[in-house]
Structure 1
Amino acid sequence: MSNDESDRGDSDRPPSVADVEPFESEALSGNVPDDLNEAVTAEWKASNTAFQRIHTVLENTYEPKTTAEVADAAATTKPTVRKHVEPLVEAGLVEERDDGRATRYAWSETQRRVNRVADLAERQSAADLDAKVRQAKERIAELRQRYDADTPNDLAESLDSDDGEGWDDLATWRTLKADLKRLQAAQSMADYLADADATAGRRDRSNHA
């Protein structure tokens, strides 16, 4: 076989594992630099104040954390956490729990519900909220009529243990009831914000008259 034929044969042959050079780049090989976490933490500290970091940690805390745990997660000190968490507790945004051994902090469940309502009011138009409220009310009315029950509790008392569809509808009814409360709260919040904006606009125009 000529050298040309040998070269063509080699080029047509798929490469073997031995032919392929291993990656030399740390990024491609999957090795994580030891100082990566330090770099991320340093960037977070540079772009956020201690209060902002503590606020973020607590807002995403569902299991209460001690002062030391919050300080560690927020890349700050325990005295700084105590300084900034106090006004959050006083404002009702953070719940303080003392079990006799340590004081722990977690974001208020009430505030979480308020935040969800505020987010709903911001993301949904007034027309969308109206439509969703109407749909929820209509679905609840259908369940009332189907089971001749005024409330989910009435339905629960009337169901047999093996009535799978009935128990599914009961869960749906309870979900609809909770959703309806949130939607109506979002409507009220949206109306309040619209009135506040209108009042601010009138005040601004009068100041410039």
Structure 2
Amino acid sequence: MTETWDDINEQVKADWKADTTPFERVYEIIEQTHEGQSAAEIADHALVSEPTARRHCKSLVNTGFAETDQDGQTTLYKRNSDRVLMSRIRELREEATRTELLDGIKDMKAEIRRYEDRYEVVSPEELAQQLDADETEGWDDLSAWRTTRQNLAVAHAALAYDEASHQLAV
């Protein structure tokens, strides 16, 4: 069975390489990179040479899509987290009305209060310190709480961005 999967994986890689440019493949890898990767690692994943990966990574850094970190003398590339955040804020602002944002914020605050009351803690970090490794439901709630908290922050930012945009237009 492993041989069949290896054949399928190789075919998928070959199809991806045939259907995309080297730049598109590097872009896709960077888009999925939260932790920095070297040009060699990106090249391996993107099915390009290391110089090609480095050239495209530098272009993505110059356009603001990617950012760099240093690990000794090695440059690590990853997607620009500020750009991702601003994209989420703009997307939410365009998809939701002010009333929908306010209602969503109210609902998320209520959900967070339910977690606080249920576990008698004030943060997901405090909950993590109290959970045993085998408490599946608690860990699921912890993950959902963190996600809700992140979404709440983005919703607040979208609301503030919307307000600032209206004020600047006046």
Shorter-chain TM-score tier = 0.5 to 0.7
Structure 1 partner of 2:33: 61
- Mark the CA change 1:127 to 1:48 in structure 2 (over 3 Å): closer, same or farther: farther
Quote the residue 1:102 is aligned against: 74
Q: Give the corresponding residue for 2:58.
A: 86
Identity percentage of aligned residues? 30
Q: Is the 8 A contact 1:122 1:190 kept in 2?
A: no
1:38 equivalent in alignment to 2:38: no
What code does the residue aligned with 2:8 have?
A: L
1:47–1:181 Cα change, 3 Å: same
> How big is the shift at 1:64?
1.3
The residue aligned with 1:50 is 22
Unaligned runs of 5+ in 1: 1-28, 143-163, 195-209
**CA distance 1:118–1:101, change in 2 (3 Å):** same
Secondary structure of 1:76's aligned partner: coil
Deviation at 1:105, TM superposition (A): 0.9
Q: Give 1:121-160 correspondences, 5 Å limit.
A: 121-135=93-107, 139=110
In 1: Cα distance, 2:23 partner to 2:83 partner? 18
Q: 1:180 to 1:55 in 2, by over 3 A?
A: same
Query: Is the 8 Å Cα contact of residues 95 and 107 (structure 1) preserved in structure 2?
Result: yes
SS of 1:35 mapped into structure 2: helix
| 1:171 equivalent in structure 2 | 123
TM-superposed CA distance for 1:114, in Å, is 2.2
Contact 2:64-2:80 at 8 Å conserved across structures: yes
Shift of 1:193: 9.3
CA offsets 1:20-72 (integer angstroms, 9 cap, x no match): xxxxxxxxx77506533332112112222211111111111122111111011
Contact 1:95 1:105 in 2 (8 A): yes
**What is the aligned length?**
140
1:182-207 deviations in Å (ceiling 9; x for gaps) = 1132245568999xxxxxxxxxxxxx
Question: Could you say which structure has the higher helix fraction?
Answer: 2
Question: Does the C-alpha gap of structure 1 residues 108 and 39 become closer, same or farther in structure 2, counting only changes over 3 Å?
Answer: same
TM-score of the two chains, using structure 2 as the length reference = 0.63
Relative contact order, CA 8 A, sep 6+: which one is greater?
Answer: 2
Distance (whole Å) between structure 1 residues aligned to residue 162 and residue 6 of structure 2: 49
Alpha-carbon spacing, 1:131–1:77, altered in 2? closer, same or farther (3 Å)? same
Gaps of 5+ in 2: 114-118, 125-144
Q: CA RMSD, aligned part only? A: 3.6
Q: Distance between the aligned counterparts of 1:43 and 1:110, measured in 2?
A: 32
